[in-house]
Amino acid sequence: MGQLYLPPTRQQRERGAADQSRFSQNISESPFPLSAAVEAHYFTAEATSVVETVRNTRAGILRKSIKKLRRRIEAWHEDLAKAEKYKNYDRYGELIKANLGTIRKGQTGVTVVDYFDEELPNLTIPLDQAKTPQGNMDDYFRKHRKHLVAERELRPRIAEGQKELETLRQEMTAIEEGTWQPPGKPHLTPVRPLPRTGKRKDLQEQRQGPFRRFTSSDGLAIYVGRNARENDELTFGLAKSDDLWLHARGTPGSHVVVRLEKGSDPPPETIRDAATLALLYSDLKKSGKGDVIYTRRKWVKKAKGQAPGAVIVTQEKSLHVSLEKKRLDALKARSAHE
């Protein structure tokens, strides 16, 4: 009792041909050779399954990446072709500049001597009749600069994109031919159960992240959305009708929800804690102060036809808050980031 288990010493019998086929692993030292063989078999099978899953996942990512990169390179080529039309526009601008005194607003074109050509031929340059001669000249110079920028910026991007595309295609070919290997050795990660508190409600809320999570000075849970999608999920998924809802007034920012028991009122310090977080995670953060509106969740409706996170609020109250360092430090100390 209480001592480390040691298997009884026994003399290993010699294995026959049937045993050798069953125990292909080198497990002669195991006190339970059959169990060791089963474990070794399924460990290998599981590792193979993980590699296959990783391979299929990588193949899906590569297909999407190749398709997206090809479209991007095609768009760059199209932009370069458009800018190519402006290659000689500096020449037109210079010729208009040399003849500004002879051009009048309202002309649709002007014929000038092309002194850039050794034979000095006549050249007709189209004009925008709504623009002044100076405006036409500036327009030609501006479009020529667009050509120069496209040449300088797009050609290196196209070359780099083609190189990246070739690398992705080579990796895809390796997967299709069965020679691809994951960059790191795949391993199995055990699924850890959520910490149990004995309350089904707590387990339910833990599964419904991932929001920023804080605890108010009164011990109430505060949830903060990280983006427009999470704002939508928080307000119309997690929050209940009697929960407190907050948002910085008149500016983009996070939705904030305080979990309340049905029929209870939020304590003043909890309201101020939640309002501070609404201000912190909004565009008013830089100013360090501003107004925050708050109401019950049941008075917040989704705005039809608008982007995720857009809402219509009624029966709201307003609170002016500042970002107090002491309060922020206390909230961050009690935060529970998922």
Which pLDDT tens digit goes with each residue over 227-283? 988 898 899 988 999 999 999 998 899 999 999 988 889 999 999 999 999 999 998
Residue-wise pLDDT for 3-21, tens only, equals: 888 887 765 555 555 555 5
Q: Backbone phi, then psi, for 175, in 5-degree steps?
A: -65, -45
Token pair 């667009």 is found at 146
Extents of the domains making up the chain: 66-177, 200-333
The encoded tokens of residue 272 equal 């101020």
Helix intervals (H) in 89-219 = 89-98, 133-177, 200-207
Q: In this model, does residue 293 exceed pLDDT 90?
A: yes
Say whether 9 sits in a helix, a strand or coil: coil
Task: Write down the pLDDT at residue 193.
Answer: 36
Task: Quote the CA–CA distance of 195 and 187 in Å, as a whole number.
Answer: 24
Task: Quote the CA–CA distance of 263 and 245 in Å, as a whole number.
Answer: 15
Task: Quote the CA–CA distance of 231 and 297 in Å, as a whole number.
Answer: 13
Task: Quote the CA–CA distance of 98 and 111 in Å, as a whole number.
Answer: 12
| Residues 223 and 259 sit within 8 Å (Cβ to Cβ) | yes
* pLDDT greater at residue 157 or residue 39: 157
The whole-chain average pLDDT of the chain stands at 82
* pLDDT greater at residue 287 or residue 193: 287
For residue 48, count other CB atoms closer than 10 A to its CB.
11
Residue-wise pLDDT for 95-152, tens only, equals: 999 999 999 999 999 999 998 888 889 999 999 999 999 999 999 999 999 889 888 8
User: One-letter amino acid identity for 103?
Assistant: I
CA 175 to mean position of chain CA atoms: 27
Task: Supply the DSSP string of 223-274, one letter for each residue.
Answer: EE-SSHHHHHHIIIII--TTSEEEEETTS-B--EEE---TT----HHHHHHH
Task: Quote the CA–CA distance of 281 and 284 in Å, as a whole number.
Answer: 8
Task: Quote the CA–CA distance of 44 and 186 in Å, as a whole number.
Answer: 12
